[in-house]
């Protein structure tokens, strides 16, 4: 629905809700096996109010000397606990998870033969203008006529969903038509692409 896509804050609110849900469902605590029983017992003894006050204190970046004895005890205890959040997009743990997956690719497929950064420009693409909803663009023309550069930039800022769809379309088309990757079979096509037949690839977004 374009009314949601054009809203200034809806996407950010929805993303925040999704991230909070992911954090609640996929965040775990790990401790050393030798300390598990004692730390688990001590964590249960800490009241929720103490943890809440400690979180607010750290969020406002106040001095550690202002902490109460219970809050200092809770902080020292939490420092012995590792937080695992590899499934939360954008977290430091998720970046480590991605690096580990890439290293696993190295051991199975060998070192990558090529590395490149793919950055299609939606502001200068007539395809994005069509995705935005401009029906006057003639994609059959060699040089389609588009609106002014200022208007293209405004459209890009107005509809980030169309920009994301454009990026996904470009990446899919690149691997399908230039590099010869068959997404239905998750393997290279019989003909291959401009670099031959691909064994595998790994890509991430910033």
Helix 160-173 vs helix 149-158: crossing angle, to nearest 10:
100
In a domain, 203, yes or no: no
Specify the pairing of strand 28-30 against strand 187-188.
unpaired
- How many domains does the chain contain in total? 2
Last residue in a domain, options 89, 124, 142: 89
Residues 81, 22 share a domain: yes
CA 125 – CA 120 distance, rounded (Å): 8
Quick one: tokens of 89?
């997009």
Residues 8, 71 share a domain: yes
In a domain, 55, yes or no: yes
**What is the predicted pLDDT for the residue at 24?**
81
Residues 130, 69 share a domain: no
**What percentage of the chain's residues is helix, strand, coil (to nearest 5)?**
55, 5, 40
Model confidence pLDDT, tens digit, residues 130-158: 999 999 999 999 899 999 999 999 999 99
CA 55 – CA 29 distance, rounded (Å): 17
Quick one: tokens of 2?
């374009």
In a domain, 103, yes or no: no
Residues 27, 58 share a domain: yes
Residues 71, 29 share a domain: yes
Residues 72, 117 share a domain: no
In a domain, 105, yes or no: no
Residues 71, 122 share a domain: no
Model confidence pLDDT, tens digit, residues 47-100: 888 888 888 888 887 887 888 888 888 888 777 776 666 667 777 778 888 888
**What is the predicted pLDDT for the residue at 60?**
84
Residues 68, 129 share a domain: no
State residue 31 phi and psi, 5-degree precision: -140, 165
Residues 53, 7 share a domain: yes
Residues 79, 117 share a domain: no
In a domain, 47, yes or no: yes
Query: Is it the case that residue 41 has pLDDT exceeding 90?
Result: no
Residues 122, 58 share a domain: no
- Domain of residue 174 covers 112-188
């Amino acid at each position: 629905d374009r009314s949601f896509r054009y809203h200034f804050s809806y996407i950010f609110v929805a993303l925040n809700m999704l991230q909070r849900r992911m954090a609640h469902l996929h965040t775990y605590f790990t401790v050393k096996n030798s300390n598990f029983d004692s730390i688990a017992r001590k964590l249960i003894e800490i009241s929720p109010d103490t943890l809440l006050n400690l979180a607010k204190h750290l969020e406002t970046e106040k001095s550690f000397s202002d902490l109460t004895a219970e809050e200092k005890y809770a902080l020292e205890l939490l420092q012995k606990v590792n937080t695992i959040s590899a499934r939360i997009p954008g977290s430091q743990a998720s970046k480590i998870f991605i690096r580990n997956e890439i290293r696993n690719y190295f051991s199975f497929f060998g070192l990558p033969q090529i590395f490149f950064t793919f950055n299609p420009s939606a502001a200068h693409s007539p395809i994005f203008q069509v995705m935005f909803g401009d029906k006057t663009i003639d994609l059959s023309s060699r040089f389609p006529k588009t609106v002014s550069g200022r208007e293209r930039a405004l459209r890009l800022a107005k509809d980030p969903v169309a920009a994301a769809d454009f990026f996904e379309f470009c990446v899919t088309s690149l691997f399908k038509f230039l590099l010869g990757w068959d997404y239905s079979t998750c393997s290279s096509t019989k003909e291959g692409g401009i670099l031959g037949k691909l064994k595998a690839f790994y890509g991430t977004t910033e």
